Amino acid sequence: MAGDPVNVAPHVYKTVLENDRVRVLEAGGSPGLITGMHSHPNQVAIALADTKMKFTFPNGESAEAELKAGEVMYLEPVEHTVELLGSEEGRLILVELK
Amino acid sequence: MAGDPVNVAPHVYKTVLENDRVRVLEAGGSPGLITGMHSHPNQVAIALADTKMKFTFPNGESAEAELKAGEVMYLEPVEHTVELLGSEEGRLILVELK
């Protein structure tokens, strides 16, 4: 597995709280920010602001996703890089499940 | 245990997504709204807007909590009623853990 997002991209991911059930990250920043390859377990993403992203996977394929402020998405375990797109600062809460 | 918040207070709680790991609720409304007694499992609360609440527990004790927009709180399993306080509409995402 690729690295921990908090270590790989501390300019994008910060730990908000952690216990034996979850780790909660805040993620975001300005359009154009990009992370190195990293992995997440199952997680719930909650958008605090409109956030548009491009994911690139280890096989080279990519996908875009957009969450409006207040929208929620469930993600299976994933390994990817993330680039922030759009014209505004993106901001997400990620509830990683242990 | 008291009832499911979605059944006890459908004017406050709506299910956003559910799978075998989590149930995600959106909760909120106008100051003065109050729920009947209900219970939650372990949950992560994420505030989408500034939200001030009064909790009352089965033993009659009560407590107030305030989350600013973007703040996150972890809660152990709880049985309570909730009253929305403050002067603005409150809005939370609740990630209930299974």
d(CA A23, CA B19): 19
Mean pLDDT of B28-54: 96
- Give the minimum alpha-carbon distance from B81 to chain A in angstroms, rounded to a whole number: 24
Q: What is the pLDDT of residue B58?
A: 96
Q: Which residue has the tokens 């207070």?
A: B9
pLDDT, tens digit (0-9, with 9 covering 90-100), for B55-69: 999 999 999 999 999
Q: What is the pLDDT of residue B45?
A: 98
Q: Are A41 and A24 in contact (CB under 8 A)?
A: no
Which residue in the set B21, B74, B93 is minimally distant from A97, CB to CB? Answer: B21
Each residue's pLDDT expressed in tens, for chain A with a length of 98 residues = 679 999 999 999 999 999 999 999 999 999 999 999 999 999 999 999 999 999 999 999 999 999 999 999 999 999 999 999 999 999 999 999 99
Residue of A nearest to B69 (CA): A48
Residue of A nearest to B21 (CA): A97
Residue B84 pLDDT exceeds 70: yes
Q: What is the pLDDT of residue B55?
A: 96
User: Count of residues for chain A?
Assistant: 98
How crowded is the C-beta side of B43, counted as CA atoms within 13 Å? Answer: 20
Backbone angles phi, psi at A41, to 5 degrees: -75, -175
Which residue numbers of A have CB closer than 8 Å to B's CBs? 16-17, 19, 21-22, 24, 26, 42, 44, 46, 48, 69-70, 72, 74, 91, 93, 95, 97
Which residue in the set B24, B26, B42 is minimally distant from A44, CB to CB? Answer: B24
ipTM of the complex: 0.94
- CATH superfamily for A5-97 is Jelly Rolls (2.60.120.10)
Domain boundaries, chain A: 5-97
Please give the single-letter amino acid code of residue A56: T
CB atoms B46 and A42 under 8 Å:
no
- Give the minimum alpha-carbon distance from A48 to chain B in angstroms, rounded to a whole number: 6
Q: What is the pLDDT of residue B1?
A: 60
- Tokens describing residue A43: 């997680």
Helices (H) and strands (E) in chain A, counts: 1, 9
d(CA B73, CA B98): 17
CB atoms B91 and A70 under 8 Å:
yes
Task: Mark out the alpha helices in chain A (DSSP H runs).
Answer: 5-8
Report residue B2's pLDDT band, with 50, 70 and 90 as the boundaries.
Answer: confident
Q: What is the pLDDT of residue B46?
A: 98
Residue of A22, A23, A26, A92 to mutate when probing chain B, most B C-beta within 10 A: A22
